[in-house]
Amino acid sequence: MKPPAATHSPRYIVIEGPIGVGKTTLVNRLSQRFDAHTVLEIFEENPFLADFYENREAFAFQTEMFFLLSRYRQQEEFAQADLFGRMSVSDYLFVKCRLFASLTLSDHELTLYDRMYSILTTQVPTPDVVVHLHAPLDVLLERIKKRGRSYEEDMDPDYIERLSRLYNTYFSHYDETPLIEVDTSDVDFSQDDQAVDDLMNQIVQAHQQALAPAPAVEF
């Protein structure tokens, strides 16, 4: 499939969802199929992440603050360099920072965190279309196990389930941009070109509908 025509395609697409749902895999496939630039979260650089998975309460604040500032710097660089270039696809929304923090931080920590978050969130670019990937807990856990990251070996299933529910709740009220919901239980975007093409068609259609002028109202 050829890349969508520039006049009809969104410039900035975000793929979101809980850990293990397949975000980065899909972003990379979209990038390959449509010559898109990628904005991928570099979570391996967080020096607190391994300790966080072993002791969430002790290392949550350091972990979440590092992610907040790291994601902000990445979004800032992207907005300056690539927002008006070729199509870009990211594997996270900036609100991810707040969603994760709400699960891991104490009330006092979250109050401190929100002061910084409220300042930074106004400075990040808004995507044209968001795709929310979701799957049942057993599927998420199997995929996490399969990818074999050492710091995820002892990940608490309850934490993943709570995170998945949090994403579902957030997107059930999301109306900032066109939103596409995708259950990834029975689709393998890493191998299925047709599934990638079909999703891209949905993304383009959602973007076009959002740009369409509202019908005139007669009085």
Write out the catalytic residue numbers. Answer: 91
Q: How far is residue 74's CA from residue 124's CA, in Å, rounded to a whole number?
A: 9
Angle between helix axes 157-172 and 137-147 (nearest 10 degrees) is 120
Q: CA-CA-CA-CA torsion for 93, 96, 98, 100, nearest 10 degrees?
A: 180
User: What are 38's strand-pairing partners?
Assistant: 89
**At which residue do the structure tokens 């990038």 appear?**
31
Report which DSSP code applies to 173. T
In the block, residue with structure tokens 């934490």 = 159
Label the pairing between strands 37-39 and 88-90: parallel
Tell me the three state secondary structure of residue 32: helix
- Cα(54)–Cα(50) distance, integer angstroms: 7
Cα–Cα distance, 28 to 14 (Å, whole number): 12
